[in-house]
Amino acid sequence: MKKIWRFIVKIILWFFILSIGMTLVYKYVPVYLTPLMVIRMVEQATDEQRKVRLKKDWVSMDEISKHLAQAVVASEDQKFLDHFGFDMEAIDKALEENKSGKRIRGGSTISNQTAKNVFLWPGRNYVRKGLEAYFTLLIELLWSKERIMEVYLNVIEMGDGIYGAEAASQEFYHKPAAKLSRQEAAMIAAVLPNPLRWSPAKPTAYNFKRQAWILRNMNNLHPVGFGK
């Protein structure tokens, strides 16, 4: 039993060492590949009707329109600058709605989504959610809010094989991410909940409605202050 416990303790120690080390590295180094990107490429490779596609181009926050940062905060996480990775009010509201039998809703923040995209795989089980909480705390402790936003906007899935602000801007609007207008940024944010179903290139009536809602919220929020 002692050997087993020593082995378990070593695994736990190595997990903490590696996870903290990776988080420190990604504080400075671009994230070029994520677990989700690998999963999507495997899905594409095993589907005869699809081609393997990976479009992404890491750019600094200074090369991304300030409107996009404002749009994703307005759309996804309006308390991003104030919380420490978790929006407890949104979590409580999501739990109440889920208990009442309404559609499953999450209380995910931009920090949660960044941690999930960079370090983990998609899923809803308790182990993965626990790891997501752990990595969220790590990035909140070790990264600045601007770095969290920079990584988020570079790795988030924005279409089939399209990741990050620069690739999405070039694909849908044929311009660099630094040149995105308020309306274009709001439309990109409008499709983020389901980028494999919706596209800024062919927005639906629902997408236009959500875009208008995001634009109103962008006006009502204080400037995030990230981006060009």
Mean pLDDT of 121-135: 91
Q: Compute φ and ψ for 83, nearest 5 degrees.
A: -90, 170
Does residue 159 form part of some domain? yes
Burial, 79: exposed, middle or buried (Cβ in 10 Å; 0-12, 13-18, 19+)?
A: middle
> E-assigned strands of 34-143?
55-56
Residue 59 lies in a domain: yes
Whether 227 is in a domain gets the answer no
- Give the count of domains, the chain: 1
Q: Look at residue 101 and tell me whether its pLDDT is greater than 70.
A: no
On whether residue 54 sits in a domain, the answer given is yes
Residue 228 covered by a domain = no
Q: What angle do CA 100, 105, 108 make, to 5 degrees?
A: 140
- Helical pair 205-220 and 66-76, crossing angle rounded to 10 deg: 100
The residues with which 159 forms a beta bridge, in sequence order, are 162
Of 166, 170, 171, 172, residue with least CA distance to 187: 172
Side-chain half-sphere exposure of 68, counting CA atoms within 13 A: 28
Measured from the Cβ of residue 50, the count of other Cβ atoms closer than 10 Å reads: 13
Confidence of residue 102 (pLDDT cuts 50, 70, 90): low
**pLDDT tens figures, 210-228:** 999 999 999 999 999 999 8
Residue 101 lies in a domain: yes
Within 8 A by CB and 6+ apart from 195, the residues are 157, 158, 159, 160, 162
Burial of 64 by CB count in 10 Å (0-12 exposed, 13-18 middle, 19+ buried)? Answer: buried
Domain residues for the domain of 100 are 2-220
User: Mean pLDDT across the stretch 154-173?
Assistant: 97
- Report the alpha-carbon distance of residue 100 to residue 10 in Å, rounded: 43
**d(Cα 180, Cα 177) in Å, to the nearest integer?**
6
b/e map of 120-158 (b: 16 or more CB within 10 Å)?
beeeeeeeeeebbeebbbbbbeebebebbbbbbbbbbbb
List, for residues 49-97, the tens digit of each pLDDT value: 888 999 999 999 999 999 999 999 999 999 999 999 888 776 667 666 6
Q: What is the CATH number of the domain that holds 144?
A: 1.10.3810.10
Residue 225 within a domain = no
**Model confidence at 103, in pLDDT bands (50, 70, 90)?**
low
| pTM over the 0.85 mark | yes
- Whether residue 205 is contained in a domain is answered as yes
User: What's the confidence (pLDDT) of residue 98?
Assistant: 62
